Structure 1
């Protein structure tokens, strides 16, 4: 769906301390941005921010960074973060293909990938955020034994991702084809997750640990 341009979004974001407009300047310096040594968790494609704002609110001893490309989406994530008055969340506009340009070695302790584009055409598979090509990039800044948590409603993407993680040297420590009927606790829902599950769609979920 094409988003209508919101010309007011970027100025609003530029005035906020929760948004990092030039993230490349903080490569290797994210702890200085948060002014503490707490672990940093990253959400790729944070959308309108329900997930990351709730994570930040419920986990004050962890720092969170949310990335999304469109100002028109990210500005709503910013408002959710501000509404909850959380100090441990930062948002940044970025094309995820350039992710290695903003993080240094061992800088991130966990990645969340929630309902990313499944790119169903075979010729487009390499654009998937769980594809081996992306996983190799994440490994350049993930700490040893860090985890990637992945949720999707797309079965083909999920099953392909199981193989991508194995190919890239990750250990699958948890996986389910029906998250909401599983024994997994403390799940925080995203906007898409609530929408899909309300229609009876099953949510698939896995945790992969970097060896």
Structure 2
């Protein structure tokens, strides 16, 4: 789907440094300074229109959240939600989430969320999948010991690839569901994509794991 260009996006992003940055490397190791309180930091890589990250910040005031989205025309939708909500525990990054070790110091993050990432279905594009071992290496670096990685998708192929990738990396599985919406998981804040796919009858797959070393 082609994204509609929003000419005002760059201006709004530049005008609200209290809520969003395009130069996240400047804050590496100092992200707590962007929040009202020093609390465990959770990040979402690829936040889309922001329903998940905004609702998570509302539901968990005891945690700090950072949403990362590359497309200015998309991240502006999250920024506009935050301008209304003014959540003290939510901050945004407009940048490529593939450079996480440039943005975060070792052990700076408590939890990572990957929601409905691009499946990159062609085999030659496997290294672009956010659950490929190249990305797992980055996640392991920035996560605190026993920090969790949560992954949701409606794509069975990507889910199977991810299970194998996590297992080969030596990760320990904490939760695994082949049909999240008919499982015993008690808290599940849905993304925009998740709502759409679920309404179409697609099962939602969930995998939560942590690194063991």
Q: So what's the TM-score if we normalise by structure 1?
A: 0.97
**Whole-angstrom distance in 2 between the partners of 1:111 and 1:39:** 11
Superposed counterparts of 1:116-135, under 5 Å: 116-135=117-136
Deviations 1:81-100 (A, max 9, x none): 23223111111111122111
Matched pairs, number: 211
Report the aligned-residue RMSD. 1.0
Tell me the secondary structure at the aligned position of residue 138 of structure 1: helix
Structure 1 residue 169, shift from structure 2 partner: 2.3
Superposed counterparts of 1:178-193, under 5 Å: 178-193=179-194
Corresponding residue of 1:3: 3
Tell me the secondary structure at the aligned position of residue 20 of structure 2: coil
Corresponding residue of 2:42: 41
Q: Do 1:49 and 1:81's aligned partners in 2 also have CA atoms closer than 8 Å?
A: no
Corresponding residue of 1:208: 209
Tell me the secondary structure at the aligned position of residue 87 of structure 1: coil
**Whole-angstrom distance in 1 between the partners of 2:126 and 2:54:** 30
Structure 1 residue 200, shift from structure 2 partner: 0.7
Tell me the secondary structure at the aligned position of residue 141 of structure 2: coil
**Whole-angstrom distance in 1 between the partners of 2:34 and 2:86:** 17
**Whole-angstrom distance in 2 between the partners of 1:185 and 1:79:** 29
Q: Do 2:34 and 2:91's aligned partners in 1 also have CA atoms closer than 8 Å?
A: no
**Whole-angstrom distance in 1 between the partners of 2:108 and 2:199:** 36
Corresponding residue of 2:168: 167
Structure 1 window deviating more from structure 2 (3-12 vs 51-60): it is: 3-12
Structure 1 residue 35, shift from structure 2 partner: 4.5
**Whole-angstrom distance in 2 between the partners of 1:177 and 1:168:** 21
Corresponding residue of 2:178: 177
Structure 1 window deviating more from structure 2 (106-115 vs 35-44): it is: 35-44
Corresponding residue of 1:138: 139
**Whole-angstrom distance in 2 between the partners of 1:33 and 1:45:** 20
**Whole-angstrom distance in 2 between the partners of 1:2 and 1:15:** 26
Corresponding residue of 2:199: 198
